[in-house]
Amino acid sequence: MERFRAGANAVPGTASTAPASIHRVGGLALARTRAVATTESTVRRLNWACGPTPAPGWINADRLRAPGIALSGDIRDGLPLDDDAVDYAVAIHGLQDLSYPEVVPALQELRRVLRSGGVLRLGLPDLDRALAAYARGDAGYFYIGDAEVTTLSGKLIVQLTWYGSVRTPFTWEFARELLLRAGFRRVTRCDYRLTASPHADIVELDNRERESLFVEAVK
- Identify whether residues 33 and 89 lie together within a single domain: yes
**40 burial level (CB within 10 Å; 0-12, 13-18, 19+):** exposed
User: Is 24 inside any structural domain?
Assistant: yes
Per-residue confidence (pLDDT) for residue 200, from 0 to 100: 97
- Identify whether residues 41 and 112 lie together within a single domain: yes
Residue 177, classed as helix, strand or coil, is: helix
User: Is 4 inside any structural domain?
Assistant: no
pLDDT higher than threshold 90 for residue 93:
yes
User: Is 1 inside any structural domain?
Assistant: no
- Rounded CA-CA distance 88/94 in Å is 16
What pLDDT band is residue 10 in, cutting at 50, 70 and 90? very low
- Identify whether residues 135 and 146 lie together within a single domain: yes
The CATH number of the domain holding residue 73 is 3.40.50.150
| Average pLDDT over every residue of 53-81 | 96
Phi/psi of residue 90, nearest 5 degrees:
-125, 150
- Among residues 63, 16, 18, the alpha carbon closest in space to that of 38 is found at 16
Summarised one tens digit per residue, pLDDT across range 176-208 is 999 999 999 999 999 999 999 999 999 999 999
- Identify whether residues 43 and 141 lie together within a single domain: no
- Rounded CA-CA distance 141/98 in Å is 25
Ranges of H-type helices in 11-126:
100-113
Structural domain of 139: 127-166
- Among residues 131, 141, 128, 124, the alpha carbon closest in space to that of 210 is found at 141
Ranges of H-type helices in 44-183:
100-113, 127-135, 152-161, 172-181
Per-residue confidence (pLDDT) for residue 43, from 0 to 100: 87
Per-residue confidence (pLDDT) for residue 174, from 0 to 100: 98
- Identify whether residues 72 and 106 lie together within a single domain: yes
User: Is 131 inside any structural domain?
Assistant: yes
Question: How many domains does the chain divide into?
Answer: 2
- Identify whether residues 193 and 174 lie together within a single domain: yes
- Identify whether residues 141 and 204 lie together within a single domain: no
- Identify whether residues 148 and 114 lie together within a single domain: no
pLDDT higher than threshold 70 for residue 2:
no
- Identify whether residues 186 and 150 lie together within a single domain: no
Q: Which of 10-19, 82-91, 106-115 has the lowest mean pLDDT?
A: 10-19
- Identify whether residues 46 and 96 lie together within a single domain: yes
